[in-house]
Structure 1
Amino acid sequence: MSIQSPNEDKMETKRLLNGTHEDNLCGCGSSAVCHPARAPHRYIMLLFMCFLSFGSYFCYDNPAALQSTIQQVMKVDTEQFELLYSLYSWPNVVLSAFGGFLIDRVFGIRWGTIIFTAIILIGQIIFAMGAQVNSFLIMQIGRFVFGLGGENLAVAQNTYAVSWFKGRELNMAFGLQLSFSRMGSTVNMLSIEKTYNAVHFDKDYQRLAFTFFTGVMYCVFSMVCAFVLLYFDKRRSRWLNLEAAETGEVVHLRDIKDFPLSLWLIFIICVTYYVAIFPFISLGTVFFEDKFNLPSDSAHFVNSLVYLISLGASFLFGILVDKTGLNLLWVFIAILGTLVAHGMLAFTWISPYVSMILLGTMYSLLACALWPMVALVVPEHQLGTAYGLMQAIQNLGLAIISMVAGLIVDNKGYLVLEVFFCANLCVALFCIVVLYIVDSAGGGQLNQSAEERNAFISAAEELKTRTSIGEREDLIRITPLTASQLRGRYLTCVGVPPTPDHDGMGRLLPLSCPHPLK
């Protein structure tokens, strides 16, 4: 009987735990492109993840690209026009959190994604049909149905990304997803008015209907991507035995009350930041025409710069955050830069191109640094619920602020609206400072450098291969400790019981020195 060396035994243990069957693979299955554990295959799947939301983002800003046209053809004011965005957001105040719960407990990530893309498709069809019969009410119903799937699809997309890329590449994956999503928004902003002007029907509302039906094709394309991911994600689970490696823990909605303070601060930052972005873009075209006297084509282009810049910047910033870490620092810079951009738009006559380029850059940076932080503060089996709740709170803010924004424009004008946006960003800036303090007190995981985070991840992966309690405690002992953890262990050694410390993941650290009473 041959005796394995420690290294060989370690490799065999990892192979068995991972459940890979590389010894039995041949042909395409043994290649990097086909094997689900290899980077090339994961990047191909990331491409399909990115296109999951292309149709949703293209259709979401259909109204913003045709604001003046919709108001004229459908005979509505700005407040009524903004209902097309509020009605998208209102159902997601509840359903985003519930959708995340369904992903975790009922449908699963695969079928949940298909169901949500189907709802988006149906909503866009109803929206276009409302224009076809010249009924603004039916258009509103279509936006409501569209919203039932839109944010839930974003939750599913985020959960897919974490499942495939949790660890060193997650920020890059989020950044690339945002880039492709905003490609849909950019294509919409730059093309949909041209589509409207290129078609000719007896009635203008029929031209609107034809224009909105172009979005249906993109929704079908996103649904095809959902089916592709269903097949390959199921194949990945079978090959890598991931289903057997699941935690087995059950998620309850009551777990929400146990979410850490740092997660709630992330939620507040999310909503107070994004209400200064999306409602502004929905009204931006007319703003640029009125204040800066830009022609319609130029106003549309300037308004699309946020999305256009995010096409490339999000991916690059994702790599930047992956390489440097320091998520909290990047979020702080992004909020501060966005506040400067809105201040320039409100109080100066500097070219709007400058302000919108800055706004687009900061928007891309924040998304790459903020959203991945959720995966650092909650267990993986609760990620669907956490991201769903984050989307729900974001949509509550967007639903309210969209209506408030339309009311402000109708009664007070765009200057007051910009001041209102700046006030929201100040709240976000305050919360990021508080989050830094809270995170530092708990070990500073959210603002770790890339080297520190990689060391922590490597230690966690190594821990999974250990089977005895003694080995697990030995590994934890060599994990770098914070100042507060070192102080606690010192107090324990001299006989003073410290306040229980944690390792940043919600787990109590074992004592390195026995208590004298023990």
Structure 2
Amino acid sequence: MFDSAYSFSWRAFLIRALALLCACSLSIGSHYASYILGPIKSRLAKEMGTSNSEFSLLIAAYSLNSTWTPLVGGLLASRLGTAWSSILATSLIFSGQVILLLGDLAGSVKGMAVGMFIFGLGVSPLAVVQETIIVRFFKSHGLGVSLAMGLVAGKGASFISASTSYPLSSHFGPHAPFVVSTFLTGVSFAINLVYLSSSSWLARGSGIELEAAELDREARRNVTAERFSEAEALQIVAEKKRVRLKDMSKLGDTFWAYIAINVLCGMIWSPFTHLSANIIENRYSLTELQAGQQASLLLAGSIFLYPLCGYITDRVKDGLVVHWLFVASSVLTLLCYLWLSAPPSLTVTPLPAMISFGLGHGFSTLLLVLIVPRLVPLKYVSTALGAHKSIEQSGSTISQTLAGLALDRASWRKQTPAQGRQPNQDAIQLVLNCFLSVNGLQSAGTLLLWRLDFVKRRAAQRRVSIAEYQPVPSASIDEVDFDRTSMEDAEDRSADTKPVEGPRELRRETDEASPLSDQVDDNESAYFDDDCDVRGPTRSDGGSQPHRARPLLANSSKVLRAPYLLSPSRNPSRRHRNHPGLAKGSAEKKRAKIAVWLCAGLVACTWILFMGTAFVELRGHDA
């Protein structure tokens, strides 16, 4: 038996490793393609005559669709399963890259913008799908490190892209970066086909539950195989695993504070990584090759900091460690903008700023993912991840578009047609000052989120403690009208019941009849192991404090048995209501609804800003 269990353990480990390899490979092509434009911004200005606004529109064109597609990606991951939704995402990415390559070959900025627009349709949904795959396979097997590996694969591709984009265009022609990115997105699409054909086998081999879509297919097969009762159970579980957008209004102040911080993160992270090469080239009089090499350091930190951050969050059981790291990352990016905003004659080189930003941004993206299961119940994680990416990309698109306009509209110097248009020091200083101000707000927001999360968890702990450990009033059995037959049946049902030692040993009959109920119940509470245990006080030996199994009745020979005194924590709906991330009072629920509408308004404003700017800036470029 031991050999069999050991063999299964190794087999499950290898299958999880294979699933992780597939998940990591999904985003290599998209991450490489996302960062090829920044290092060649000056070349595009010289050869195609693109302005700063037009370049920013190219970047914003792919982040624009990410303002709404992450929500769809989260729903697809819940409803269709990660396999089919990832195929949809990678096919859009590959198609967009093909159109982008054709636009570059034709020298059409409009064509390239269309390609980036289609490319952006699949980028954020693929990121949600990838994270969902990893959470699914590794939620009990080192989730932090596994998420870090998935992000490292993408960031590694981004770093290689930023490092090789300009050398490829110099040695193999101006179209070489686009050819390589198209090839890699095609490889990611092919790997998706492999995952599609083996997703159910991977799930069964690693010993995890099937997804909602897979449960539906399993149920339909079982209907014809004399297992109708199990098929009904599978359908029930599949329905419970689906996520609905209307649930967003149930989330509390802590989650919406996190969403507000995402707007600020989007405004200072992604736009700077795309503009940094051109900014430091002009601010410090560097060559394009030197600027591209130093700017690539912005993405290098993620390669080793993601695994380190994942290891820390897995090993350090204090849930507040995520907040500590988040504040540290914000301070490091703030130091970068402080350095770059200082006079170039004083700082001389941008290298310290690039290193500081690379260290700060190196693990911040992972933290935004790891903190979500802490803020919301597990059943909302997929859609919450989608909301975080949607709002972050809204901030990114707005900031990217406005930065391009600022670099053009602020005083800029005209050069020869061969050199194109480059921003002067006044325009660069304006953009850097804006980045610095927003980063200051983001730093204050991280501290506020830390405090708010702590207060909410303490309040949730008090509520659950009162609900579970309030005294049971003494009463004579004669004071309560019990049916004798019901009591005798209760005595018979509880005859084989073990002594109650904690809330997890209280089991309903339905738990024994349907083992799936425990499986879903445990999964829904997988992330409740933080600093404030919402299930109540604990014993000194680390276990849960025992519940009172028997009330203090006058007649001790006739008492209510354990099956009648079920812990409130065994009720999933009760536990979800007590989760610190959910809105509690009417005022908080009203604020959540207002926040939903504000987020929708932010997305609408992002589209209006982009479309208006694109109409003005691109309408006559290719004429």
Answer yes or no: same fold by TM over 0.5.
Answer: yes
**Separation of aligned partners in 2, 1:138 and 1:362:** 35
Task: Give the stretch that moved more between structures: 233-242 or 119-128.
Answer: 233-242
Matched, 1:468 2:445: no
Q: CA deviation at 1:369?
A: 2.4
Indicate which of 159, 184, 190 corresponds to 1:224.
Answer: 190
Q: What does 1:17-28 align with in structure 2 at a 5 Å threshold?
A: none
Q: CA deviation at 1:390?
A: 1.1
Q: Does the C-alpha gap of structure 1 residues 434 and 241 become closer, same or farther in structure 2, counting only changes over 3 Å?
A: closer
Q: Secondary structure at the match of 1:306?
A: helix
Matched, 1:34 2:29: no
Matched, 1:66 2:29: no
- Partner of residue 578, structure 2: 502
**Separation of aligned partners in 2, 1:131 and 1:327:** 42
What letter matches 2:361 in structure 1?
Y
**Separation of aligned partners in 1, 2:52 and 2:583:** 51
Matched, 1:181 2:173: no
Q: Does the C-alpha gap of structure 1 residues 41 and 470 become closer, same or farther in structure 2, counting only changes over 3 Å?
A: closer
What letter matches 1:321 in structure 2?
T
- Partner of residue 398, structure 1: 396
- Partner of residue 73, structure 2: 99
Residues 284 and 348 of structure 2 are in contact (CA less than 8 Å); yes or no, is this contact kept in structure 1?
no
Q: Secondary structure at the match of 1:443?
A: helix
Task: Give the stretch that moved more between structures: 133-142 or 221-230.
Answer: 221-230
Q: Does the C-alpha gap of structure 1 residues 232 and 289 become closer, same or farther in structure 2, counting only changes over 3 Å?
A: same
Residues 403 and 431 of structure 2 are in contact (CA less than 8 Å); yes or no, is this contact kept in structure 1?
yes
Indicate which of 298, 306, 311 corresponds to 1:306.
Answer: 298
Matched, 1:435 2:449: yes
- Partner of residue 260, structure 1: 252
Matched, 1:338 2:333: yes
Q: Deviations over 1:413-450 (max 9, x none)?
A: 1111111111111221222222122211222699xxxx
Q: What does 1:507-518 align with in structure 2 at a 5 Å threshold?
A: none
Q: CA deviation at 1:84?
A: 0.7
Residues 32 and 41 of structure 1 are in contact (CA less than 8 Å); yes or no, is this contact kept in structure 2?
no
- Partner of residue 407, structure 2: 409
Count of matched residue pairs: 442
Task: Give the stretch that moved more between structures: 394-403 or 252-261.
Answer: 252-261
Moved over 6 A (4+): 22-26, 462-465, 469-472
Q: What does 1:172-211 align with in structure 2 at a 5 Å threshold?
A: 172-199=145-172, 207-211=173-177
Q: Deviations over 1:351-397 (max 9, x none)?
A: 32221111111112322322111122223333221111111111111
**Separation of aligned partners in 2, 1:90 and 1:506:** 29
Q: Does the C-alpha gap of structure 1 residues 463 and 388 become closer, same or farther in structure 2, counting only changes over 3 Å?
A: farther
| C-alpha RMSD of matched pairs (Å) | 3.3
Q: CA deviation at 1:286?
A: 1.8
**Separation of aligned partners in 1, 2:104 and 2:458:** 52
Indicate which of 243, 268, 273 corresponds to 1:281.
Answer: 273
**Separation of aligned partners in 2, 1:144 and 1:56:** 13
Matched, 1:170 2:143: yes
Residues 169 and 175 of structure 2 are in contact (CA less than 8 Å); yes or no, is this contact kept in structure 1?
no
Residues 55 and 215 of structure 1 are in contact (CA less than 8 Å); yes or no, is this contact kept in structure 2?
yes
- Partner of residue 56, structure 2: 82
Q: Deviations over 1:241-262 (max 9, x none)?
A: 6135946324222111112222
**Separation of aligned partners in 2, 1:406 and 1:67:** 12
Q: CA deviation at 1:503?
A: 5.3
What letter matches 1:424 in structure 2?
V
**Separation of aligned partners in 1, 2:504 and 2:187:** 39
**Separation of aligned partners in 2, 1:196 and 1:370:** 34
- Partner of residue 213, structure 1: 179
Q: Structure 1, unaligned stretches of length 5 or more?
A: 1-21, 200-206, 447-461, 487-499, 509-518
Residues 49 and 177 of structure 1 are in contact (CA less than 8 Å); yes or no, is this contact kept in structure 2?
yes
Q: Does the C-alpha gap of structure 1 residues 409 and 41 become closer, same or farther in structure 2, counting only changes over 3 Å?
A: same
- Partner of residue 352, structure 2: 354
Residues 171 and 372 of structure 1 are in contact (CA less than 8 Å); yes or no, is this contact kept in structure 2?
yes
Matched, 1:111 2:84: yes
Indicate which of 237, 248, 257 corresponds to 2:239.
Answer: 248
Residues 65 and 188 of structure 1 are in contact (CA less than 8 Å); yes or no, is this contact kept in structure 2?
no
Task: Give the stretch that moved more between structures: 221-230 or 403-412.
Answer: 221-230
Q: Percent identity?
A: 22
**Separation of aligned partners in 2, 1:480 and 1:88:** 53
Q: CA deviation at 1:465?
A: 7.5
Q: Secondary structure at the match of 2:457?
A: coil
**Separation of aligned partners in 2, 1:265 and 1:221:** 39
**Separation of aligned partners in 2, 1:280 and 1:189:** 13
- Partner of residue 110, structure 2: 137
Q: Deviations over 1:441-478 (max 9, x none)?
A: 222699xxxxxxxxxxxxxxx97785239999xx9455
Q: CA deviation at 1:227?
A: 3.0
**Separation of aligned partners in 1, 2:2 and 2:87:** 34
Which TM-score applies when normalising by structure 1? 0.78
Residues 91 and 148 of structure 1 are in contact (CA less than 8 Å); yes or no, is this contact kept in structure 2?
yes
- Partner of residue 458, structure 1: none
Residues 128 and 139 of structure 1 are in contact (CA less than 8 Å); yes or no, is this contact kept in structure 2?
yes
What letter matches 2:376 in structure 1?
V
Q: Deviations over 1:74-111 (max 9, x none)?
A: 21100111101111111221222122222222x22111
- Partner of residue 148, structure 1: 121
Q: Does the C-alpha gap of structure 1 residues 120 and 251 become closer, same or farther in structure 2, counting only changes over 3 Å?
A: same
- Partner of residue 234, structure 1: 200
What letter matches 1:236 in structure 2?
L
Q: Structure 2, unaligned stretches of length 5 or more?
A: 211-233, 411-425, 461-501, 512-517, 519-533, 546-574, 585-623
Residues 104 and 381 of structure 1 are in contact (CA less than 8 Å); yes or no, is this contact kept in structure 2?
no
Q: CA deviation at 1:23?
A: 10
**Separation of aligned partners in 1, 2:90 and 2:133:** 14
**Separation of aligned partners in 2, 1:237 and 1:192:** 38
Residues 345 and 352 of structure 1 are in contact (CA less than 8 Å); yes or no, is this contact kept in structure 2?
yes
What letter matches 2:337 in structure 1?
H
Residues 376 and 579 of structure 2 are in contact (CA less than 8 Å); yes or no, is this contact kept in structure 1?
no
**Separation of aligned partners in 2, 1:259 and 1:60:** 32
- Partner of residue 486, structure 2: none
Q: CA deviation at 1:339?
A: 0.6
What letter matches 1:327 in structure 2?
V
